[in-house]
Amino acid sequence: MTGPILQVALPSPLRRLFDYRAPRGVGAADLHIGQRVRVPFGKRAMVGLIAAISDHSEVPDNRLKPAEALLDATPVLPDSLWRLCQWTARYYQHGLGDTLSVALPVLLRQGEPALARQDQLWQLLPGAYPEHPAIARAPKQKQAVQVLAQHPHGLSHALISQWGLSRDTLSTLESKGLVQRIEQSPHHIAEPLPLLREAHLTANAEQRAALDAILNAEGFHTWLLEGVTGSGKTEVYLQAIERCLLNGHQALVLIPEIGLTPQTLNRFQQRFSAPVVILHSGLNDRERLDAWIAARDGEAAIIIGTRSAIFTPLARPGLIIVDEEHDLSYKQQDGLRYNARDLAVYRGHLEQVPVILGSATPSLESLHNVQQGRYQHLRLTIRAGNAKAPSFQCLDIRSRPLEGGLSRPLTDLVSQHLERGNQVLVFINRRGFAPTLMCHDCGWIAECRRCDARMTVHQSPPHLHCHHCNSQRPLDRCCPKCQSEDLRPLGAGTERTEEFLKERFADTTVLRIDRESMSRKRAMQEMMEIIHSAQPCILVGTQMLAKGHHFPNVTLVAILDADGGLFSADFRGPERMAQMITQVAGRAGRAEKPGQVIIQTHMAEHPLLIELTERGYPAIAERELAERAIAQLPPYRFMALLRAEANHARAAEDFLEAALEQAEALVAQHQLADIDLLGPVPSPMERRAGRHRAQLLLQAAQRSALHQLVHMLLPALEQHPLARKVRWSIDIDPLDMF
Ligand code: ADP
Ligand code: ZN
Ligand code: ZN
């Protein structure tokens, strides 16, 4: 058999490529790596990318099928993005086809052309005027000509329809030779505008120093911009972007959550008149593809997006920013378990552009990279403008009664702040009405039938909800164990706190901000409007509240329960807790008014809390890093976590036992140094959604040794007979051990 063999990356969990012959009638000269092809796969057709072109195949001739069609004339991804995807697949030990399918917009995965959609514009032809005899008795056509005469560059159909003019009217004019259609990209700008809509702020000394460092460097650098909340990190981003755009380049900005987008987007749009596109989960597939193409073709100047936006191709990359770099949402927790923050740094290296990682509470990983000289540290230690740092206070709630999660002294404080006309933020990290339903007579607790977890009580509508597997059931009427009817919700979640505060402060607006209340479109924006109206109000919310928001009128921040992080089983517990408290606290006193932060705790003497309130996040970070070094935990050691789950209790562990044996053999055979294999052990939550879960932890002093081991181990596991009986996955640099 002659002719080229295409090695195609398909969205399959298998870590391999699939061989096909070239589509009929397509010659070698038309084939390039990175083009999409449609191929038969089992009984279906699939779209994949050509990953390699070869002149032979291991597959016997008679089983080698031709691809059905070549979908692109040129590679769908620019070379740098192709290389980023290949690196991602290798680093996270994931199939290239599946990695590419994460990187590509849905429509491209389905075979849609990778071309910009053209806006159709209507434009008058010379010789057309409202009194033209051909339209003398057609008032609608006359009106259309009048409207178009005002718009010499043409009008899109969407705009024309605002005058009540139909497509038919315009088609008739077209047939009379009075108007024409022209095609134009939706991001096209008729005349170049000045870059800035508003002047930038005058940077303060610390911002200036940070900007000088960033703007005077050339090529790839990673900056860790550690700036206390309200220190003006965003202003540093904006001015760095300004320079990037002036140089004719594009800027890519990653933000952690969709909740942040309206505010961030506003600030960018207020500052720049250059086209900004935003990639977030609220876009439909077509909008996403349009934005992606606008970025790839260089028409979008600023691209803002959440985690997966790191895979947006850029025609002229100039700068990558990762805001709130410590945020967990940058790590994908299933499928391709990549960390967009880490990919951003690799991409900066690949494209030779600077990367700014910004946070008030940098991850220990990034701080360690600073110590190692890989990242450069830029610090903003004071708040910008006239804002002062808030004051911290721990409130010992041992043996104090709580109402809706609030102790009496705290409720009094809330009342004082409201009386002064200020806003109050109450932070509670639990959704629902109460975290548990308990029988007051025998101590029975409502548990999920499918998970090792308690059911959360919700009130509107009343039901029990498992936040791990999403199963729901009605509230029990009586205790299944002792038949008592005295069942009580125990503890407080956002709904209960909201209910209490509404009762206690009947004349004040109480806004709840959590996943349930924000599921409605526009809900966040409506809340922002109330918050910025500056009337006294109470915000009750989960960590959704903590992220990046600017609430200028909040003067009191209350953290209802800080104790969870103090005795967490996860070694990252203290780091997370310190980040969360610092971020929530950072919402207080961001404008002229000073802020106060109250932390309710049962452990007011805990050294971590004392250190955090007295010396702040950097002190905690330093202390935790020292402890990690002693305990030989990340970032001082590298981890990969092999997880397995199965319907039968033993299957997951048997599979991991087999994996352990394989791994031990590989370590011995290749003399891999300094590797620990820990487990298999049941996962911290052993049963979830009806499945039994276990894990095997692989740790190493050298990243390369760990990598080599996993790389050899996975193909062996794919072949293992037990592999078909369990669901298993590998997580490189896991952030969540559960
Ligand atoms: P961060 O992102 O570090 O939390 P922001 O960039 O949101 O901080 O800035 C906080 C507030 O300070 C914003 O209202 C911003 O407009 C203001 N600000 C930032 N830089 C300056 C400056 N140089 N002069 C005056 N106000 C500033
Ligand atoms: Zn009971
Ligand atoms: Zn459950």
Mean pLDDT of 136-156: 82
Measured in Å, residue 478 CA sits from the centre of ligand 2 at 8
The answer on whether 442 is annotated among ligand-binding residues is yes
The pLDDT, as a whole number, for residue 259 is: 61
Whole-model pTM? 0.88
For 418, phi and psi rounded to 5 degrees? -65, -40
Measured in Å, residue 320 CA sits from the centre of ligand 1 at 20
User: Which pLDDT band, with edges at 50, 70 and 90, does 503 fall under?
Assistant: very high
Q: Checking DSSP bridges between strand 675-688 and strand 638-646, what pairing results, if any?
A: unpaired
> Using CA of residue 48, residue 49, residue 55, residue 57, what is the dihedral sign?
negative
Residue 66 makes CB contacts below 8 A (sequence gap 6+) with 20, 21, 22, 23, 24
Task: Give the three-class secondary structure for 105.
Answer: coil
Measuring from atom 20 of ligand 1, which residue has the nearest CA? 232
Half-sphere exposure of 726 (CA within 13 A, CB side): 30
**SS3 sequence of 35-50:** CEEEEEECCEEEEEEE
What digits encode the pLDDT tens for the residues 157-214? 656 665 667 778 888 999 999 998 887 655 554 444 567 878 888 899 999 999 999 9
The answer on whether 482 is annotated among ligand-binding residues is yes
The stretches of 461-566 forming alpha helices (DSSP H) are 494-504, 523-532
Alpha carbons 328 and 683: distance in angstroms, whole number: 20
Nearest ligand 1 atom to the CA of 236 is 6
* Amino acid in position 55: D
Question: How is residue 603 written in tokens?
Answer: 């452990």
The answer on whether 85 is annotated among ligand-binding residues is no
| 55 contacts 6 by C-beta, under 8 angstroms | no
Mean pLDDT of 35-50: 94
Alpha carbons 647 and 94: distance in angstroms, whole number: 24
Q: Which fold has domain 5-80+95-109?
A: GIY-YIG endonuclease (3.40.1440)
User: Which pLDDT band, with edges at 50, 70 and 90, does 264 fall under?
Assistant: low
pLDDT: is 732 or 26 the higher one?
Answer: 732
Of 479, 484, 512, 497, the residue nearest 435 (C-alpha): 497
* Amino acid in position 338: Y
Quick check: 118 pLDDT over 70? no
Question: How large is the greatest C-alpha to C-alpha distance in the chain, in angstroms?
Answer: 93
- pLDDT over 70 for what percent of the chain? 94
Measuring from atom 23 of ligand 1, which residue has the nearest CA? 203
Residue 114 makes CB contacts below 8 A (sequence gap 6+) with 36, 72, 76, 108, 293
Measured in Å, residue 476 CA sits from the centre of ligand 2 at 11
The pLDDT, as a whole number, for residue 422 is: 92
Q: Which residues pair with 179 in a beta bridge?
A: 124
Alpha-carbon Rg for the chain, nearest whole angstrom, is 29
Quick check: 260 pLDDT over 70? no
Measured in Å, residue 438 CA sits from the centre of ligand 2 at 8
Task: Give the three-class secondary structure for 631.
Answer: helix
Task: Give the three-class secondary structure for 173.
Answer: helix
Mean pLDDT of 709-736: 93
Measured in Å, residue 160 CA sits from the centre of ligand 3 at 53
The pLDDT, as a whole number, for residue 190 is: 45
Measuring from atom 10 of ligand 1, which residue has the nearest CA? 230
- pLDDT over 90 for what percent of the chain? 62
The ligand placed nearest to the CA atom of residue 451 is 3
- The set of protein residues with a Cβ atom below 6 angstroms from ligand 1 is 201-204, 207, 227, 229-235, 384-385, 550
What digits encode the pLDDT tens for the residues 616-634? 999 999 999 999 999 999 9
Mean pLDDT of 263-275: 79
Does domain 638-732 correspond to CATH entry 3.30.70.600?
yes
What digits encode the pLDDT tens for the residues 280-323? 777 788 888 888 988 998 888 999 999 999 999 999 999 999 99
Burial class (CB in 10 A: 0-12, 13-18, 19+), 475: middle
Of 303, 407, 312, 273, the residue nearest 103 (C-alpha): 312
Of 130, 142, 202, the residue nearest 170 (C-alpha): 142
Which residue in the block uniquely carries the two structure tokens 């876009």? 283
Question: How is residue 540 written in tokens?
Answer: 């009750």
The answer on whether 478 is annotated among ligand-binding residues is no
User: Which pLDDT band, with edges at 50, 70 and 90, does 60 fall under?
Assistant: confident
Measured in Å, residue 489 CA sits from the centre of ligand 3 at 18
Tell me the C-alpha to C-alpha distance, in Å, between residue 608 and each of 210, 487, 575, 619, 633.
Answer: 30, 36, 10, 10, 19
Alpha carbons 303 and 331: distance in angstroms, whole number: 20
The ligand placed nearest to the CA atom of residue 471 is 3
Does domain 205-380 correspond to CATH entry 3.40.630.40?
no
What digits encode the pLDDT tens for the residues 570-619? 899 899 999 999 988 888 766 677 789 999 999 888 988 999 989 999 99
The ligand placed nearest to the CA atom of residue 204 is 1
Domain boundaries defined on the chain: 5-80+95-109, 119-184, 205-380, 391-434+491-628, 638-732
**SS3 sequence of 315-326:** CCEEEEEEECCC
Nearest ligand 1 atom to the CA of 228 is 3
DSSP class of residue 129 equals -
Measuring from atom 4 of ligand 1, which residue has the nearest CA? 230
Assigned architecture for domain 391-434+491-628: 3-Layer(aba) Sandwich (3.40)
**SS3 sequence of 548-578:** CCCCCCEEEEEECCCCHHHHCCCCCHHHHHH
For a pocket test of ligand 1, which of 550, 590, 592 has the largest count of ligand atoms closer than 8 A to its C-beta? 550
The pLDDT, as a whole number, for residue 191 is: 44
The pLDDT, as a whole number, for residue 159 is: 61
pLDDT: is 383 or 517 the higher one?
Answer: 383
For a pocket test of ligand 1, which of 233, 234, 242 has the largest count of ligand atoms closer than 8 A to its C-beta? 234
Mean per-residue pLDDT over the chain, rounded: 89
Task: For residue 544, count other CB atoms closer than 10 A to its CB.
Answer: 19
H helix and E strand count, the chain = 20, 32
| 599 contacts 406 by C-beta, under 8 angstroms | no
The answer on whether 479 is annotated among ligand-binding residues is yes
Say yes or no: do domains 5-80+95-109 and 391-434+491-628 share a fold.
no
Question: How is residue 636 written in tokens?
Answer: 């001082």
Tell me the C-alpha to C-alpha distance, in Å, between residue 551 and each of 92, 261, 530.
Answer: 38, 15, 11
What digits encode the pLDDT tens for the residues 469-498? 999 999 999 999 999 999 999 999 999 999
What is the side-by-side order of every strand in the sheet holding 69-70?
18-21, 5-9, 44-54, 36-41, 69-70
Measured in Å, residue 397 CA sits from the centre of ligand 2 at 28
Question: How is residue 375 written in tokens?
Answer: 């990242």
The answer on whether 244 is annotated among ligand-binding residues is no
Of 191, 192, 239, the residue nearest 212 (C-alpha): 239
What digits encode the pLDDT tens for the residues 68-107? 999 999 999 989 999 999 999 999 999 999 999 999 999 9
Measuring from atom 19 of ligand 1, which residue has the nearest CA? 232
Of 524, 518, 492, 517, the residue nearest 427 (C-alpha): 492
